[in-house]
Amino acid sequence: MTPAAPTHPAPPAVTVIGIGADGWPGLPERSRSVLQDAQVLIGGGRQLDLLPASCAGERVSWPSPLRPAVPGLIAAHAGRRIAVLASGDPMFYGIGRALTETFGPDALHVLPHPSSVSYACARVGWPLEDTEVVTLVGRPAARLAAALHDGRRVLVLSAGADTPATVASLLRERGFGPSRMRVLEQLGSEDENALEGTADTWSHAPGDPLNVIAIDCTRAPDALRLGAVPGLPDDAYEHDGQLTKRHVRAATLATLAPAPGELLWDVGGGSGSIAVEWMRTHPSCRAITVERAPVRAERIARNADRLGVPGLRVVSGRAPAALADLPTPDAVFIGGGLTAPGLLDACWEALPPGGRLVANTVTLESEALLASWHRGHGGDLVRLAVAHAVPVGGFTGWRQAMPVTQWSVTKPSSSLPGAVS
């Protein structure tokens, strides 16, 4: 019997090719060959214009908005040799992510080019592994605030020619006006250019839209210092007194134990401090805060913006009704409204197995409710007490803050229904 011919996997349907500002001359031979052989060339207008006439495939520009159009556009050219152009490294804030998430990695063959970040670090002499990268392409500038720490180096991927001025303004507002800024334009091309100054004195006119901003972070002497772990100073927040105070907040976040990519429900948001500091622990952490008072809901949004997590979702409404149709949380924090009928039941029901619930209270009525749920579901019931040293005449004494009762629990695979009354 003649042995069956070996089978080979079909070639990927789409080849994704990174291209830099240096265009065709900067591409390796393999990338050039694919582009010349492609029947369909998909990319941004600027990228397609970098190709010579020898790339004879049909040229198709990405529509806007791009992400929803990806499946249909690729499907429209099924069966043809498709090459997709991307700026620099397609898998670094590029189209490679959208294509991979839509079609799977086996449907793609990626030929990367050095990213703008690699070029920028090479130009300013920064080790890439020690450099924070923040993209403002299609994202609010306020997210840069979370990366600002004295002595750190940050690269900002610009959204356009106006981004440097926007960044300089944000640095001044957040107390980092003395920071050195270098705007690196057209990296990798013959038209490379660099502008330099400090955020305090930045006066350059908008330049090339293709730029990366290198920031040497320097905090102004009178600026409030914000650390990298939960427990920010209370003065970092705008509030009306409804604020989980610093030491209790740090203990609460430690109990909630945020992990990258997880979603928190912050019920009874007050000033939003728990949700804000949950999101500051990692760029991929997400949070939804629910607050019944519209004035406080607006205040939460301002706090989130100022502290670098503008992606915090604020829901203005009364729980538990306002919790309906929210995405499944990994953890729930209840900071207010514990005695609202059905609130604890709704939060418990929404949690998946392994989800965490933490509730804080200072009232006897809510404490009794938490004690009941503790009897029915276990977990940890603790009391947090904080005292501050204050003047007492010519001496110093302790002023005790209201003690906080905290119940924390992890939902097991099979849970008992309801609380024990």
Q: Which residues of 226-262 are buried (b: 16+ CB within 10 A; e: fewer)?
A: beeebbbeeebbebeebbbbbbbbbbbbebbebeeeb
- What stretches in the chain show pLDDT beneath 50? 1, 5-11, 415-421
Same domain, yes or no: 161 and 252:
no
pLDDT attached to residue 7: 43
Pair (102, 129) in one structural domain: no
pLDDT of residue 82: 96
Together in a domain, 85 and 188: no
User: According to the model, what pLDDT value does residue 375 have?
Assistant: 96
Identify the pLDDT of residue 414: 66
Residue 223 placed within a domain:
no
Instruction: Report if residue 163 sits inside a domain.
Output: yes
129 occurs within a structural domain:
yes
Residue 418 lies in a domain: no
Q: What is the radius of gyration, based on Cα positions, of the chain?
A: 27
User: Are residues 141 and 254 located together in one domain of the fold?
Assistant: no
Instruction: Say if 193 falls within a structural domain.
Output: yes
Q: Are residues 400 and 257 in the same domain?
A: yes
Residues 31 and 101 reside in one and the same domain = yes
User: Do 396 and 249 belong together in one domain?
Assistant: yes
Residues 252 and 347 in one domain: yes
CA distance 177 to 157: 19
Whether the model pTM is above 0.85: yes
Check whether residue 82 and residue 107 sit in a common domain.
Answer: yes
Tell me if 138 is assigned to some domain.
Answer: yes
CA distance 187 to 126: 15
Residue 249 shares a structural domain with residue 198: no
Contact between 46 and 208 under an 8 Å Cβ cutoff? The reply is no
Angstrom distance (rounded) from CA 248 to CA 361: 11
Q: Write down the pLDDT at residue 9.
A: 43
- What residues contact 368, with CB distance under 8 A and at least 6 apart? none
Q: Which domain covers residue 371, as residue numbers?
A: 234-410
Q: What is the CATH number of the domain that holds 126?
A: 3.30.950.10
